[in-house]
Amino acid sequence: MTPEEFYKALAEKGIELNDTQKGQFETYFSELVETNKVMNLTSITEKDQVYLKHFYDSLILDFFDDQLIHGSLSICDVGSGAGFPSIPLKIINPDLQVTIIDSLNKRINFLKGLVEKLDLDNVDLVHGRAEELGQNKQYREKFDLVTARAVASMTVLTELCLPFAQKGGQFIAMKADKADAELQEAKYAIGLLGGKVSQQESFELPNEAGLRNLIFVSKTKETPKKYPRKPGTPSRKPLVKK
């Protein structure tokens, strides 16, 4: 997907980029590739692949939630890595209030430089483990939307992410394949942690780049205080029905 194909594909979804936004994506690509030479941020560095599998893939969320394009939602991106999906979402809608959480300080430092070069405001970059920050009153149950594009199972992601969503907010997991099986296993944890599955959507990426599954979880009640558990515990002992 060339940049021009990227602009056209977004326009077909009703998202028209101005020159500033196009420049921001170009700068994002350059910073990502240059930094990746000295720090492992991504295995995807070819320009057409970055625009497709990082930028366009991140913006799939916009296709299903119009508030992400026009609203001023508060978003928490857990385990964002190199800033996906929240930085592309922020470029599209500067009114979003973004908090990015990542456990590796090197990635946070990369994002600080990136946010400055892209001239983005209202982006809070937080170094820490989701398990610990999810117990921090500054972040717990404070966000309209929590998202993750991580490789962890849906059960684990639910415990890491849902505590950040405020009652009435939602958590959206971005998954590739096996989403149905993961969701079945995660339903116990979702209910236990105060959520309810409200929607599931599938989207085929252009150029046969694969299927993406979005799982929408509404936050219907507060998460019990004992969750999330201590760092590492959600992965070692997932919340599954005995």
Query: pLDDT tens-digit profile of 12-58?
Result: 999 999 999 999 999 999 999 999 999 988 888 899 999 999 999 99
Q: Is the pLDDT of residue 178 over 80?
A: no
104 φ/ψ sector (left φ>0, alpha ψ -120 to 50, else beta) = beta
Higher pLDDT, 50 or 181: 50
Q: Is 79 annotated as a binding residue?
A: yes
- Nearest CA-CA partner of 25 in 100, 84, 71, 97: 84
**176: pLDDT confidence band, cut at 50, 70 and 90?**
confident
Just give the CATH number of 59-236: 3.40.50.150
Q: Is 208 annotated as a binding residue?
A: no
- Euclidean distance between CA atoms 30 and 185, whole angstroms: 40
Signed CA dihedral, 148, 153, 154, 155: sign only:
negative
Q: Is the pLDDT of residue 209 over 80?
A: no
- Euclidean distance between CA atoms 242 and 220, whole angstroms: 24
Answer for the pair 76, 101: CB distance below 8 angstroms, yes or no.
yes
Express each pLDDT in 132-161 by its tens digit.
999 999 999 999 999 998 768 999 999 999
- Euclidean distance between CA atoms 9 and 236, whole angstroms: 41
> CA dist 174 to 93, 146, 182, Å?
19, 11, 12
Q: How many CB atoms lie within 10 A of CB 30?
A: 12
Q: Is 26 annotated as a binding residue?
A: no
Mean pLDDT of 70-95: 94
Answer for the pair 196, 220: CB distance below 8 angstroms, yes or no.
yes
- Which pLDDT score is estimated for 142? 97
Mean pLDDT of 197-222: 90
Give the lowest-confidence range in 16-25, 57-66, 168-177, 205-214.
Answer: 205-214
Q: Is 236 annotated as a binding residue?
A: no
- Which pLDDT score is estimated for 44? 86
- Which pLDDT score is estimated for 207? 81
Q: Is 130 annotated as a binding residue?
A: yes
Q: How many CB atoms lie within 10 A of CB 137?
A: 7
Counting residues of the chain whose pLDDT is more than 90, the rounded percentage is 81
Sheet strand arrangement including 165-175: 123-127, 97-102, 74-78, 143-148, 165-175, 211-219, 195-204
